[in-house]
Amino acid sequence: MVPQLATALNGPINELEQRMLESTPVIERWFRLEWMEHTPPFYASVTVQNAGFKLTPTDTDLFPAGWHQLAPETLQLAVQAAMAAIEKICPEAKNLLLIPKNDTSDLSYQANLARLAQIFTLAGLNVRFGSLSPQVNTTVELPLPSGDSLRLEPLLRTSRRLGLHYFDPCTILLNTALESGIPGMLEDLNEQYLLPPLHAAWPTRRQHRHFAIYEELAKRFAKTLGMDVWLIHPTSALCQGVNLTEPSGMEALQTQVDAVLTKTRRKYKEYGINEKPFVTIKSNQNPATFGQWLVRDAKDLPQMLSQEAQTLPLSQHSAFLVQEGVRTQERIQDTVAQPQVYVMDRYVVGGYYDLLATDGRPLNPSPTIPLLFDHPSASNTRSPNRFYMYGVIARLAVLAASYELEATDPEAETYD
């Protein structure tokens, strides 16, 4: 099930979208059976690229911020999904400890935290914030524009439990991807539920693993629907163990770029797509600390990187994901509208558009537009759900994350 939200799509429904809309019962059942065997990540946001002819995920964030950017009308979906998630994990739950990023100075991030607290309070939990930041050694009040305030408290760790002064939570929810490593304070918490688990953070995650699993799932899914997997999967290649400050490293990366461009060109020809393909190059680890490069020709790479080298310590990165570029064709006025889909447990609970410059680069400040319910009147219930395909692809990415977490679980029992 995907809520019917109004997208920026107003053109005719193309073949890919039509296929998904027609296959709703098959798709929903497919997911239902998958979730019987696999535990969904607690929450996630998925960046989806809609090129019109193909639709792919490009980033699956397992510690999503930005919850305040969802339409308030969709809040109840998140609350209902949060209830379902909590009931499965810890039905006796009373107290929820929310751990934000260390840097909470950003007003937008504060609004995100306030929304998350609202969701879990409405789901029936006492919510308090505990900070990992060494600066928070006493209670800090952050005033919010609404007149409320966010109260950050220092974490208290005992030998077996993590909490706050007079607050012993049964569940701890991380809203930080722990980019700079796993703090010792979060380790060995065997008595409490730590969500998402530590191996969902970037010290463990790898982009190529996520997309390799996604590809396998997308193949099975596409087979069920009788369609070409390429329509929902970006061709990807891993380039690892390279040093880009050396010519051999550069050559290795160029080879992968060439390979992905060649495959993409062949597919464009097969589908009669009259566009110039490009690839994106991302760090195989946390994408947020690195950004991505867009490349149309492997030959351009050395010059591009010599410019990047000014700002980026290239030598610190040795593994890259080279991925077919899929550019969202959706437009709101003169900007590119890039869908972000939010998932809680197994439920799509909302989304918004990031508005980008026409070359795909972020605008500054970076505006967003919430996706609203597409139900102006009761008589309109027959209009197709144009948000549906985003919800399908986002859930496919979230399912891939679920397999990924199973594969990297340090406590998983291995059966031979």
Residues contributing to the site for a copy of itself (CB under 8 A):
1, 3-4, 24-25, 27-29, 31-33, 35-36, 68, 72-73, 75-77, 79-84, 86-87, 91-94, 118, 121-126, 146-148, 347, 373, 375, 377-382
User: Shortest approach of a copy of itself to residue 33 CB, angstroms?
Assistant: 7
User: Shortest approach of a copy of itself to residue 257 CB, angstroms?
Assistant: 40
Task: Return the number of the residue (95 or 255) whose C-beta is nearest a copy of itself.
Answer: 95
Dihedral through CA 398, CA 402, CA 405, CA 411, nearest 10? 150
- Burial of residue 311 (number of CB atoms within 10 Å: 0-12, 13-18, 19+): exposed
User: Shortest approach of a copy of itself to residue 347 CB, angstroms?
Assistant: 6
Task: Return the number of the residue (298 or 399) whose C-beta is nearest a copy of itself.
Answer: 399
Nearest-Å Rg of the Cα atoms of the chain is 22
Q: 98 phi and psi, to 5 degrees? A: -105, 125
Task: Return the number of the residue (36 or 274) whose C-beta is nearest a copy of itself.
Answer: 36
10: CB partners within 8 A, 6+ apart: none
Token pair 């994901």 is found at 321
User: Shortest approach of a copy of itself to residue 105 CB, angstroms?
Assistant: 21
Task: Return the number of the residue (123 or 295) whose C-beta is nearest a copy of itself.
Answer: 123
User: Shortest approach of a copy of itself to residue 24 CB, angstroms?
Assistant: 7
Six-digit token string for 259: 């390979």
Q: 44 phi and psi, to 5 degrees? A: -165, 155
Task: Return the number of the residue (27 or 155) whose C-beta is nearest a copy of itself.
Answer: 27
Which of 357, 353, 361 lies closest to 337 in space, CA to CA?
353
User: Shortest approach of a copy of itself to residue 378 CB, angstroms?
Assistant: 5
Query: What is the separation of C-alpha 41 from the centre of its chain, rounded to a whole number of angstroms?
Result: 11
Task: Return the number of the residue (29 or 361) whose C-beta is nearest a copy of itself.
Answer: 29
Which of 397, 360, 390, 398 lies closest to 374 in space, CA to CA?
390
Angle between helices 207-225 and 388-408 (to 10 degrees): 130
User: Shortest approach of a copy of itself to residue 222 CB, angstroms?
Assistant: 18
Task: Return the number of the residue (84 or 227) whose C-beta is nearest a copy of itself.
Answer: 84
C-alpha 219/C-alpha 369 separation (Å) is: 32
Contact assessment for residue 183 and residue 106, using Cβ atoms and an 8 Å cutoff:
no
Helix (H) or strand (E) holding 228: none
User: Shortest approach of a copy of itself to residue 382 CB, angstroms?
Assistant: 6
Task: Return the number of the residue (29 or 276) whose C-beta is nearest a copy of itself.
Answer: 29
Task: Return the number of the residue (51 or 173) whose C-beta is nearest a copy of itself.
Answer: 173
What's the one-letter identity of residue 236?
S
User: Shortest approach of a copy of itself to residue 353 CB, angstroms?
Assistant: 16
181: CB partners within 8 A, 6+ apart: 203
Rounded alpha-carbon distances, angstroms, from residue 172 to 191, 199, 339, 394: 11, 15, 29, 25
